[in-house]
Chain A
Amino acid sequence: MPERVDHLPDWAIAELRRPVDSAVGLRERIMESVRASARPRTAVLTRRSHSAPRRGRRLAMSSAIAAIAAIAASMAWMALTPSILGSRARLIPVLGGSTAGSAVVIGDTVDAALRDTLRLVRFVLRAPDAARVALAGDFNDWSATATPLMDSAGSGVWEAVVAIDRVAGRYAFVVDDTQWVRAAYIEPATAEARPRRAAPVGGDST
């Protein structure tokens, strides 16, 4: 008898259907987030009725992010690189509250020879109470001192433009040498990608 092509061993199917241990506190976390959320709409507007304003907002956001990227690219041009081609950018807001950080990929290409590997990324952390801020991550072997951010305006906004030779990686801000603020992941900017909000992936950790 020929073997059924869409069949698995019984034990494998049983394993797939075996109940999993309940997640401790998951229900409470879900309901907390639900209670904190705005009430659901009773009537859903059609996509068509929203399409024009949504496009407008997207264009506005794209313009704003492009402007930020252009400024950062100019800084990086002078400081770090012989040539920057393009101004594609992606803004990654990572944290709320009094401490908020972001990373903007400001150029896909720094040099023809490094076209596929090297990126300039502008890191920004809003930390008004901090005395020192540094950046640690895969790109600098998680050194807490190798990549300091500067608050040149004294406004509590700490910045650094870093050339990173990885298309993706993890990083964290180090505030006052001791407080590690887990932040977002660097994402490669692509020609097709539109700037969008990235889901926060972490919070404060010590």
Chain B
Amino acid sequence: MPGTDAQIVGAVLGGDTEAFGVLVDRYQERCLRLALHIVGSREDAEDAVQESFLRAYRYLGGYREQEKFAAWLYRILVNQCRTLLARRRRLELPMAEWEWDVAAASDAGVENGALRAELTRALDLLSPDQREAVVLRFSEDLTYDEMAAITGSGTSALKMRVQRACARLRRLLLEGANA
């Protein structure tokens, strides 16, 4: 079904539930990538994406055409990821490492897998706020204004988080390369 996001939203609100599948097709992969980098676990990322789309559907009436649908959806997704991370902190489950080991093993090249594992190890050592900010900034190439709309944080705070995250990541990646 062709159309802009707003047109599809209108169709869904008009009763065409299946039209929502177009939005799922359009944003599922990007949402999964974003969630994966924020939460570090494939299983949690899929849960976050599924729950986010369901919430987006339920509250679709709250979407306003002036806003990019992707940004609106990302806001829901980031909140879901935060919830998952908070729950995991309570559980203290060391799941990220083996999840990514599996992903790395399935990579076409061992080198790519090693890079990804290295990056993931470094991301795991960031604070949740820093990790979220740096992923939004670089994975999705968002502006700070867009990030502010998604996270609810101010642009100055986000810039500071990204700067600190970058500095720490560079140091961690350098240590990993020299290890």
Contact = CB atoms under 8 A, between A and B. Distances in A.
B156 interface: no
A199 B54 CA distance: 14
25 contacts: A6-B137, A6-B166, A9-B173, A12-B115, A12-B138, A12-B169, A12-B173, A15-B119, A16-B135, A16-B138, A20-B33, A21-B106, A22-B29, A23-B28, A23-B32, A26-B28, A31-B18, A34-B57, A37-B54, A37-B57, A40-B57, A40-B61, A41-B59, A168-B90, A168-B92
B37 interface: yes
Given A20-B33, A30-B54, A38-B58, 6 more contacts: A8-B166, A17-B33, A21-B106, A26-B32, A42-B13, A168-B90
Contacts of B33: 17-20
Interface in A161-189: 167-170, 185, 187-188
A113 interface: no
A35 B42 CA distance: 24
A55 interface: no
Main secondary structure of the interface of B (DSSP, over half): helix
Contacts of B137: 6
Contact of A34 (B20, B36, B106, B119): B20
B157 interface: no
A31 B20 contact: yes
B79 interface: no
A39 B15 contact: yes
Nearest to A23: B46
Contacts of A11: 115
Contacts of A188: 90
Interface in B117-134: 119, 134
Query: Interface centre among A30, A42, A44, A187, by most B CB within 10 Å?
Result: A30
B46 A44 contact: no
B8 interface: no
Given A19-B33, A23-B32, A39 B49 contact: no
Given A26-B32, A30-B53, A40 B141 contact: no
Query: Interface centre among B18, B92, B119, B137, by most A CB within 10 Å?
Result: B119
A34 B17 contact: yes
A166 B159 CA distance: 38
A50 interface: no
A143 B169 CA distance: 42
Interface in A22-66: 22-23, 26-27, 29-31, 33-35, 37-44
B148 interface: no
A203 to B, nearest CB: 13
A13 interface: yes
Query: Interface centre among B51, B159, B166, B169, by most A CB within 10 Å?
Result: B166
Contact of B13 (A13, A15, A40): A40
Given A30-B50, A40-B61, A5 B163 contact: yes
A197 interface: no
Nearest to B49: A26
Interface in B75-129: 83, 87, 90-92, 103, 106, 112, 115-116, 119
